[in-house]
Amino acid sequence: MRIVKTDCEYFIFLWTAYKRKVRIGLAAALTEEEVFVMLGLLPGIGCLDRNDSGGGIFMGQNKDAQVNLRKVAMIGCGFVGSASAFSLMQSGLFSEMVLIDADQERAEGEAMDISHGVPFAREMKIYAGNYDDITDAAIIIITAGANQKPEETRLDLVHKNVGIFKSIIPEIAKRNCQGILLVVSNPVDILTYTALKLSGFTENRVIGSGTVLDTARLKYELGKHLSVDSKSVHAFIIGEHGDSEIAAFSSANVSGIALSEFCEMRGHYAHDENSRQIAERVKNSAYDIIKKKRATYYGIAMAVKRICEVIIRDEKSILPVSSMMHGAYGLEDVVLSMPAVVGKHGVETQVPIPLDKEEIEKLQKSAETLKEIIRDVEW
């Protein structure tokens, strides 16, 4: 038996073994997509045609239809952008990351600083670039925009950041990018709507980070309240990523047990008051953090990493991302956060979780708040 010596031979060996369904060592534990990601390390391999339903390696003839699953672009190198870039470097999801900022020196500095951590992580090319460098990126992340100040709501940022997006999105659109557009800048629901309208991308390929972080905060608070692992808590924040967000307690559960029932198991009976306090703490988390340290960035950086994982690995996980609504709960032509199945093609389908009457009314009110803002925006 010949020993596989080089990295190149090893990855080809794994791929061949997987395709032949040979149950050997590491190949037996890997999905096709994971082996594909590993193979993306090899020169000339790692392009996927987004129209290819097979999900395998595809060296397309049409360059415009290709994306490099090992490449990510970050537009905006402020607190959120740089923290997200650092998180992605540590994740090992990508082998190439381009950073773009209106301040070129800032982008260069962040690229240098993060690159110096590569010897402690997986090999990765990190550099400051321009819009011509994003054409084959699998995911284009936008964190650019004005920061939220103390006492300022996310919706207060609308006109400043819509103006910034009017300069960014056309640059992306005219390069015929085929990757997923992930909007993180606030107000994320309005800016995701803006990106969708200005880019011409199909709706599934334009995603906002939405209430992924808010939902994590809710799970954290519930886990702490109940003295249980937060990963065993299943609950969502829906609607606007902002002051009108809704904690969907009626559908919340802990490993299949209704939240109210589990609370009583843990000695908590004041359901309404406890729920109100937890929802308020979640909603006000960003304000509290901004008041204390002027910005929030670590939590959202982890949320960005998680969304990227779901897309690149085609996990088809259910995340409360911002996407266009088409009739569910009576909502139309508004972007807000609802649980959705997310995979390599972006949003596959929204998941209409059961809500009680009060939650539906609050959701509709949240949507109307966003629509009023949209009507005032000049496109």
- CA angle 111-116-121, nearest 5°? 105
Q: Residue 68: enclosing H or E segment and its boundaries?
A: strand 66-75
Calculated CA dihedral for residues 335, 341, 343, 347, nearest 10 degrees: -20
Q: Estimate the share of the chain in helix, then strand, then coil, as percent rounded to the nearest 5.
A: 50, 20, 30
Residue where the block lists tokens 């990126």: 137
- H/E run at residue 66: strand 66-75
241 is catalytic: yes
Is the Cβ–Cβ distance between 148 and 157 less than 8 Å? yes
Decide if 125 contacts 96 (C-beta within 8 A).
Answer: yes
Q: Are 269 and 216 contacting, i.e. CB atoms less than 8 angstroms apart?
A: no
- Which position among 234, 241, 271, 326 bears the catalytic label? 241
Residue with tokens 């629509």: 371
What is the set of active-site residues? 241
